[in-house]
């Protein structure tokens, strides 16, 4: 588990947070993707590869960023409301216990 101080440091400024340079590079790339995606080019991807990120990891980061942008626009546009803190806590406990997959059905007693 990450320390809350480290998480807050990343949220304040990833470029000065106590994280590896490879992670700083990825956060800088994602910031550019969020704010000026048309400014990204092959050299930006090459820079991520140079610090150890694989094409699959870069693709995953781009996909997660794009999906969260979509979700945020959809939520803003459709008027979906935020959950209360107790609801987020209950959801976190449920995810920690069961994960994202629904619980498996118990075996049918009539099955051989």
- Rounded to an integer, the average pLDDT of 20-34 is 96
Domain boundaries, the chain: 4-98
Alpha-carbon gap, residue 89 to 95, rounded angstroms: 10
What is the rounded end-to-end Cα distance, in angstroms, of the chain?
44
pLDDT above 80: residue 106? no
The DSSP code for 53 is -
User: Does the pTM of the predicted model rise above 0.85?
Assistant: no
pLDDT above 60: residue 112? no
Phi/psi for 101 (5° steps) reads -75, 140
CATH topology of domain 4-98: AhpD-like (1.20.1290)
């Amino acid at each position: 588990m990450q320390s809350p101080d480290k998480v807050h440091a990343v949220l304040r400024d990833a470029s000065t947070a106590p994280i590896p340079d490879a992670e700083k590079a990825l956060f800088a790339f994602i910031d550019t993707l969020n704010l000026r995606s048309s400014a990204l080019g092959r050299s930006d991807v090459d820079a991520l590869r140079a610090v150890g990120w694989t094409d699959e990891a870069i693709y995953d980061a781009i996909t997660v960023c794009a999906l969260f942008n979509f979700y945020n626009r959809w939520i803003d546009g459709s008027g979906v409301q935020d959950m209360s803190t107790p609801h987020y806590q209950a959801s976190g406990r449920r995810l920690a216990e069961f994960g994202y997959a629904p619980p498996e059905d118990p075996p049918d007693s009539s099955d051989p």
